[in-house]
């Protein structure tokens, strides 16, 4: 039996190579969760079998553990645990989230895989793993190309995200290159080169600027190195290619403004890189502020998986597009934020270890491997300056590093460790215990992800079943609780509140509220949960009692955790407005309520003065309070600071229609329609505004289009329909 286990074991170590092609549509986050949970299971089985093999006297390359180059992953892991223990919340640090799967547990298994591969790698294992990576990388690349051919746009292939896809291929590409040059011949070599071509095309189609830039840097360095070393023909070829690259780069920069207009994202996105580009400006703002947060926690950081807490403290809606972030889109800053400066240094050493392996390969005369691993390190470092790892890319990075350090170093001898005979018997229950851990580590989270996906699927068609699935998933007591709260909030606030009625509405509200309250108590640092809870309480169905104390506590925590985020302030202001509207129009109490709301928004605008929408809200409040002068001033500020935003444009339309400012109403109605072309209500509003603004011909044009697109919308205002119909008749 031991003979069969020994044969299976190397393939088990290689098995995570298939993770990029594992997806399951039955789970929430189908592109990432199955990969992560399968990796956990494979890791536990691998460690279990390793324990049995060691106890039964199997030979491994133990000497490699004593080489300093192999110590970095374990040191990083130890630091991560220490930092997380003293960090914000060790529980969250250990488990992470379903959508990310990047906490201490993943790091532990990844590092374990590094050492298991280090102890087992020989030439045969090295060959098998490189070939397996080449095959899977080629499959994923071809799938991505097919996705682009049929769907267009930025492709995510079997990884579900363009940046994740490109990041994975940026590593797999060099394993495929090494396979083509050293480990394949004839038909298989041609197939390997075809895979390289597919991987390069797929990376280009992702339009991921970080990876494309990384490949450009790697090519530039390779050509410079070739032009300075080697024989005369190699220097001449490299120098010529370098000159061509420089000329092409210069022309690209020269005609960049024209290239931005090309309807091919890989070119247009690269050409659009500048500090004025919205994405670039947002990233620079995040990096600058993340550096400030790192300075406050330089030694141990805040622990794994708590970057979102730092992000929320400096979030600014005028500078950042994304509402909620748990990564800075820079792996180096992420390591420093989570584990302090020591974590950053260890991560840099980890990447630098590839250059050590490359130097050894070059010294041994294996130039292909030297080139492949050196360029891999360059591409990985550059692309991770703009993105971050998933399990598919991080495991591949560590696995290749482990093999490179093992094969490039001095010869090692396989030898067994000596243990008492009784340890053989003990190894089996120990291994069984590790396998049993698959249930809490992989199976129960998978069930929780499935239940959540079912709750989402039936949120409208069968709300009773949806609530049951939420309850069932929460009862599993996994680390999915936070995401249950996020998803339940989105379902209720975006869809169920407007669609459901009666008992169905009450039950979905109650389920959502209870989940958010549980998370509010368990994760006191999570501003997102606090904000969602506060908002849900304000959306209670008629007749449901709301705890004012809980609402106030949730709002206070939300604003404290993310002071520049406008939603919490809006809820506060809306509470004052709602209370004011219970009093008669024109009464002192109503005006007092509006004044309180204005005070809340004014306090917020001292924090974020250039956000457009709050100025329009203030303008509304001033206008209904009779202060038309200040209303006009605030509206002018809102228009001055306006950036493309559907909600802000709708808010502006409401104000300008109320004040009968038809010119500005027309401007913002056009903005709404450009951002939401199928919004027929606002198209009809535009027709009305054009009519009263003295442009009936344009009103007729819009009405004619609506008669084709959505004729029922015309009956919502019969007086206008009668007027525009009469006008049309008069012109015949």
Q: Which residues of 617-650 are buried (b: 16+ CB within 10 A; e: fewer)?
A: bbbbbbbbbebeeebeebbebbbebbeebeebbb
Question: How far is 63 from 47, CA to CA, in rounded Å?
Answer: 19
CA distance 654 to 657: 5
How many C-beta neighbours within 10 Å does residue 197 have?
Answer: 12
Q: Assess contact for 338 and 303: CB atoms under 8 A.
A: yes
Rounded Cα distance, 291 and 301, in Å? 12
Instruction: List all residues 6 or more positions away from 455 whose beta carbon is below 8 Å from its beta carbon.
Output: 466, 467, 469, 470, 473, 487, 488, 491
Given pLDDT bands bounded at 50, 70 and 90, which one contains residue 727? Answer: confident
pTM of the complete model: 0.91
pLDDT of the residue at 718: 84
Token pair recorded at residue 61? 């390359």
Q: Report angle CA 339, 340, 342 to the nearest 5 degrees.
A: 95
* 291 pLDDT more than 70: yes
Q: What is the pLDDT of residues 191-227, one digit of tens each?
A: 999 999 999 999 999 989 899 999 999 999 988 888 8
Q: Give residue-wise pLDDT tens across range 614-670.
A: 999 999 999 988 899 999 999 999 999 998 889 999 999 999 999 999 999 999 999
pLDDT at position 20 is 96
- 526-548 burial: b if 16+ Cβ within 10 Å, else e: bbbbbbbbbbbbebbbeeeeeee
Alpha-carbon gap, residue 565 to 285, rounded angstroms: 16
Task: For residue 509, name the pLDDT band (cuts at 50, 70, 90).
Answer: very high
Is residue 256's pLDDT more than 80? no
What's the mean pLDDT when you consider all of the chain? Answer: 92
- Which among 284, 394, 270 has a CA at the least distance from the CA of 333? 284
Phi-psi region of 160 (alpha: psi -120 to 50; beta: other; left: phi over 0): left
Of the candidates 253, 202, 229, 260, the residue with the CA atom closest to the CA atom of residue 367: 229
pLDDT of residue 14: 96
pLDDT tens-digit readout, 555-582: 999 999 999 999 999 999 988 888 888 8
Q: What is the mean pLDDT of residues 312-323?
A: 89
- Distance between CA atoms of residues 10 and 46, nearest Å: 9
Residue 581: what pLDDT?
A: 87
Confirm if 362 and 333 have CB atoms less than 8 A apart.
Answer: no
DSSP 158: G
**Mind giving me the DSSP string for 346-360?**
HHHHHHHHHHHHHHH
Say what the pLDDT of residue 50 is. 96
Which among 351, 448, 333 is positioned nearest to 394, based on CA atoms? 351
Q: How far is CA 362 from CA 127, 190, 297, 603, 713, in A?
A: 18, 25, 41, 63, 73
Residue 84 has pLDDT above 80, yes or no: yes
User: How far is it, in rounded angstroms, from Cα 685 to Cα 672?
Assistant: 11
Instruction: Name the 3-class secondary structure at 415.
Output: strand
110: closest CA among 17, 31, 14, 39? 39
What does each C-alpha distance from 687 to 719, 723, 727 come to in angstroms? 13, 12, 13
- Encode pLDDT of 395-448 as tens digits: 999 999 999 999 998 888 899 988 888 888 899 999 999 999 999 999 999 999
More confident residue, 234 or 244: 244
Tokens representing residue 428 in the block: 């089996």
- Per-residue pLDDT, 325: 85
Position 242 pLDDT exceeds 90: no
Give the C-alpha separation, 433 to 99, whole Å.
27
pLDDT in tens, 677-692: 999 999 999 989 998 8
Single out the residue of 160, 192, 208, 162 nearest to residue 20, CA to CA: 160
- Which tokens sit at 666? 């027309």
Residue closest to 554 by CA, chosen among 540, 539, 537: 537
Cα gap 259→268, rounded to integer Å: 6
320 to 287, 317, 647, 664: CA distances (angstroms) = 11, 5, 16, 27
The total of other beta-carbon atoms located within 10 Å of residue 477's CB is 11
Could you give the percent of the chain with pLDDT greater than 90?
Answer: 71
**Alpha-carbon gap, residue 154 to 149, rounded angstroms:** 11
Beta carbons of 579 and 593 less than 8 angstroms apart? yes
- Nearest Cα residue to 41 out of 113, 100, 120: 113
Q: How far is CA 456 from CA 28, 421, 449, 452, 504, in A?
A: 9, 54, 11, 6, 15
Dihedral angle sign, alpha carbons of residues 60, 66, 69, 73: positive
Cα 706 to chain centroid, rounded: 39
* CA nearest neighbour of 394 among 347, 342, 329: 347
Residue 355 and residue 403 in contact, taking contact as beta carbons nearer than 8 Å: no
Q: What is the pLDDT of residues 694-723, one digit of tens each?
A: 888 888 899 888 888 888 888 888 888 888
Query: Residue 732's pLDDT band (boundaries 50, 70, 90)?
Result: low
Q: Could you tell me where the DSSP H helices lie in 581-608?
A: 588-607
Model confidence over 128-174: pLDDT tens digits? 999 999 999 999 999 999 999 998 788 999 999 999 999 999 999 99
Query: Quick one: pLDDT at residue 274?
Result: 74
Asked whether residue 260 carries a pLDDT value surpassing 80, the answer given is no
């Amino acid at each position: 039996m031991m003979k069969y286990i020994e044969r299976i074991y190397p393939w088990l170590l290689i098995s995570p190579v298939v993770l990029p092609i594992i997806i399951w549509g039955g789970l929430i986050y189908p592109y990432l969760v199955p990969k992560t949970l399968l990796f956990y299971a494979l890791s536990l089985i691998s460690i279990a079998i390793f324990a049995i093999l060691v106890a039964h006297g199997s030979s491994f390359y133990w000497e490699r553990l004593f080489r300093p180059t192999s110590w970095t992953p374990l040191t990083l892991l130890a630091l991560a645990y220490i930092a997380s223990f003293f960090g914000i919340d060790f529980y969250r640090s250990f488990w992470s989230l379903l959508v990310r799967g990047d906490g201490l547990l993943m790091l532990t298994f990844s590092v374990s895989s590094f050492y298991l591969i280090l102890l087992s790698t020989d030439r045969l294992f090295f060959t098998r793993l490189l070939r397996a990576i080449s095959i899977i990388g080629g499959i994923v690349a071809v799938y991505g190309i097919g996705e682009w051919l049929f769907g267009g746009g930025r492709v995510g292939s079997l990884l579900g995200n363009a940046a994740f896809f490109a990041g994975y291929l940026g590593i797999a590409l060099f394993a495929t290159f090494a396979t083509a040059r050293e480990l394949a011949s004839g038909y298989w070599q041609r197939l390997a080169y075809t895979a390289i071509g597919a991987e390069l095309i797929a990376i280009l189609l992702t339009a991921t600027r970080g990876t494309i830039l990384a490949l450009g840097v790697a090519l530039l360095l390779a050509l410079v190195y070739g032009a300075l070393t080697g024989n005369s023909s190699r220097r001449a070829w490299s120098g010529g290619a370098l000159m061509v690259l420089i000329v092409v780069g210069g022309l690209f920069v020269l005609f960049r403004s024209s290239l931005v207009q090309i309807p091919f994202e890989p070119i247009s996105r690269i050409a659009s890189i500048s500090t004025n580009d919205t994405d670039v400006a947002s990233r620079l703002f995040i990096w600058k502020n993340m550096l400030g947060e790192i300075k406050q926690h330089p030694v141990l950081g805040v622990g794994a998986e708590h970057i979102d807490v730092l992000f929320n403290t400096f979030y600014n809606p005028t500078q950042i597009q994304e509402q909620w972030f748990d990564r800075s889109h820079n792996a180096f800053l992420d390591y420093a934020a989570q584990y302090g400066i020591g974590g950053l240094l260890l991560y840099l050493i980890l990447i630098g270890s590839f250059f050590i392996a490359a130097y050894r390969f070059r010294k041994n005369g294996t130039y292909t491997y030297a080139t492949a691993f050196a360029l891999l390190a360059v591409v990985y470092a550059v692309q991770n300056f703009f993105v971050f790892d998933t399990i598919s890319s991080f495991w591949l990075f560590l696995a290749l590093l482990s093999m490179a350090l093992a094969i490039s170093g001095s010869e090692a001898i396989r030898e067994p460790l000596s243990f008492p005979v009784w340890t053989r018997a003990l190894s089996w229950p120990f291994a069984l215990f590790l396998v049993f851990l698959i249930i809490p580590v992989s199976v129960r989270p998978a069930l929780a992800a499935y239940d959540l996906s079912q709750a989402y699927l039936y949120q409208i068609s069968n709300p009773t079943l949806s609530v049951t699935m939420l309850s069932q998933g929460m009862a599993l007591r996994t680390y999915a609780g936070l995401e249950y709260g996020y998803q339940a909030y989105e379902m209720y606030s975006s869809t169920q509140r407007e669609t459901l009625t009666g008992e169905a509405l009450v039950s979905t509200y109650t389920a959502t509220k209870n989940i958010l309250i549980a998370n509010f108590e368990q994760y006191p640092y999570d501003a997102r949960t606090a904000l969602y809870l506060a908002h849900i309480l304000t959306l209670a169905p008629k007749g449901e009692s709301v705890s004012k104390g809980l609402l106030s506590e949730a709002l206070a925590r939300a604003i404290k955790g993310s002071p520049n985020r406008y939603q919490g302030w809006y809820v506060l202001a809306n509470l004052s407005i709602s209370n004011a509207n219970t009093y008669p129009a024109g009464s002192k109490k109503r005006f007092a309520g509006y004044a309180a709301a204005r005070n809340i928004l004014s306090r917020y605008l001292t924090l974020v003065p250039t956000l457009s929408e709050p100025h329009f809200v203030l303008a509304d409040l001033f206008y209904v309070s009779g202060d038309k002068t200040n209303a006009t001033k605030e509206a002018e500020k809102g228009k001055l600071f306006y950036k493309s935003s559907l909600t802000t444009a709708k808010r502006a339309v409401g104000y300008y229609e109320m004040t009968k400012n038809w010119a500005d109403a027309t401007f913002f109605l056009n903005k709404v329609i450009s951002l939401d072309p199928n919004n027929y209500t606002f198209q009809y509003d535009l027709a009305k505004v054009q009519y009263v603004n003295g442009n009936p011909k344009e009103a007729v044009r819009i009405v004619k289009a609506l008669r084709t697109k959505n004729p029922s919308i015309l009956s919502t205002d019969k007086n206008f329909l009668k007027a525009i119909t009469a006008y049309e008749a008069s012109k015949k």
